[in-house]
Amino acid sequence: MSLKPFNEKKTRYKLRKQHWNQQEIDKYVKYIKDKIEREK
């Protein structure tokens, strides 16, 4: 399983550029982290 290392800063920045609000970004980041944890 080759999951690209998750870069939180870059992801948050990218989402902000797409006009996501802070709450959505937090939720998304948490979702990704959980997903990565499960795939370990």
Q: Spell out the domain ranges in the chain.
A: 8-39
Q: Which residues contact 8 (CB under 8 A, 6 or more apart)?
A: 29
**In terms of pTM, does the model score above 0.95?**
no
pLDDT in tens, 1-40: 445 678 999 999 999 999 999 999 999 999 999 998 998 7
Distance between CA atoms of residues 3 and 26, nearest Å: 20
The 10 Å CB-count burial string (b at 16+, else e) for 5-33 is eeeeeeebeebeeeeeeeeebeeeeeeee
